[in-house]
Structure 1
Amino acid sequence: MRLATTLMYSGDPREAADQVAGWERAGLDVVWVAEAYGFDAPTIMGYLAARTETVLIGSAILPIYSRTPALIAQTAAGLDAVSGGRAILGLGASGPQVVEGWHGVAYDKPIGRTREIIDICRRVWRREVITQDGLYRLPLPDGLGKPLKILTHPVRDDIPVYVAALGAANVRMTAEVADGWIPFLYVPERASAVWGEALAEGGRRREREPLEIVAGGPVAIGDDVTHLRDLARPTIALYVGGMGAKGRNFYHDVVSRYGFEAEADRIQELYLAGHKKEAAAAVPDELLELGSLIGPEGYVRDRIAAFRESGVTVLNVTPLDPDPLRLLSRMKELIS
């Protein structure tokens, strides 16, 4: 099991890079850079590449609608070059609110688009001449375009591609064609009931190496730290309650499938009515506990075991400690 963490959306990127350089020395294996509608991820990833030496640098995630397939492939190849072969391309469909509200692009056919983009990227990195007749048409018919291949020679022709997916069909596609899967709001004890069938079906069709699974949660070690679980309430309420409309919220659906359907409905009702604090208070304690690694060291060991047994290969944690370097170093020891 490898150890990872995700950079926060806000803050000084240069200060964050200094931190990551220290975490690298503590044994951090992977750092993920989010995008959403904050800073673009590739800029931060390139800066991190210059400030680090061994840590893998992944996008988590680049929304598939905000760039053409060719640009995604070029960006990943460039990041892999400046990092010396340490890039991970994390892709995801995001959601209608961000895609249509921020990028002004119709949110349509997310699974088919993701599949085509992954295929095009891999062909670009192999320096093939690119043609495509699907959701993406390359070159455009009846125009002046001609089939092209990337001018530069990528460092690797097999840059790892991870996909953020929650729905069964998307997870099935991810297990079939991607190198890794990035779920959100992951509860190891209940993951198999929600995604087990989709993972198995996709896995039977894949020809690549076993699927990497990236999941975890906030971490704190101590005898009096369980109150820190409450820090996740506003984020969970935002996603379950506010990231989508009723009937079209992937995070609400996952929490419901975990067995918290009534609670998810209540969170959504409160959040959409503008009662954000009440929505956060309505997040069930059990969900907070199962999605975190917060407690005495023996308890944290048990949580690591639960994530490992569920198939997680990259434990992605958010350290809640005045000295995150010390905590990450201890976590590296615990997962080894």
Structure 2
Amino acid sequence: MILKKGDTGDAVEAVQARLGIKTDGIFGPRTEAAVKQFQRSRQLEDDGIVGPLTAAALGLNLEEFLTTDIQDSIRTTADGLLIHTSYLDKDEYLSGPTDKFYVFLHHTAGGHDPYATIRSWNNDDRGRIATQFVVGNRSVRGDTTHDGEVVECFPDEGWAYHLGKNNSSLLHPHSIGIEICNYGWVDPRGGKFYTYVNSVLPDDQVIDLGFEFRGFRYFHKYSEAQIGAVHQLLKEIRRRHDQVNLHAGLVEWIETQSPAEAFDFKPEACNGKIRGLLTHANTRKDKTDCSPQPLLIDMLRNL
């Protein structure tokens, strides 16, 4: 067993404790830097990876942290996509099982860290609200630790509420949700771009659609790593659920309608009549996720 940047869990906490740094269980840049410093102090290769030699120098046996529990595993898909698991508490989702017929794309309207999104769901008091998958982004400061990282927070047979009010009792229990870490629309003011929480996005993380979507022209840009990961994840979902038709819905609409129209509200989607790939905005008039960005549209055309 080795630990490296991007890993999470009890073993990471144990390493952090031995290093005398904050024990949050997340192997991020600060933990990597502390590992490298420790390795140099012990004349070990300073690669920032906790392997057998570094673990021994720390006085740890990482094998003690191995488990057969899927909650603590990482899956690799047929396309080589790593899917990390960080499961919610069991009272934060419904166990199912249910057949899945719909896939919904969302954005989180928040920061870059998928684990932070999952922790917020686990700790809030809103009930069983979550999506099965969350895809990380680069931070506003350019940290790419979580960029394109896919985290699964409950098992395939489970489900949770993620759409809000709609006109079909089928949509929540029979859908798979994917949250893309992204702030959504941004407001240009005084030469800067502000998110809805009034934080500033760097210019290279903003996209000008060239037209208005739901009243907004500028949006937080989906990263290439995110869209690549979503592409691979959608193909993995199709392998897991052969009844899911990813070419119905959004993929059809982008070929016959303008981007703004394709991503807009569809009464038949809200009514549960379109079994396929949809966005949150396809079922809600008050949402902007996901926005019709060229990178996302190109990916959908290549499904």
Q: TM-score, normalised by structure 2?
A: 0.26
Higher helix share: 1
Q: TM-score, normalised by structure 1?
A: 0.24
Larger relative contact order, structure 1 or 2 (CA cutoff 8 Å, min sep 6) = 1
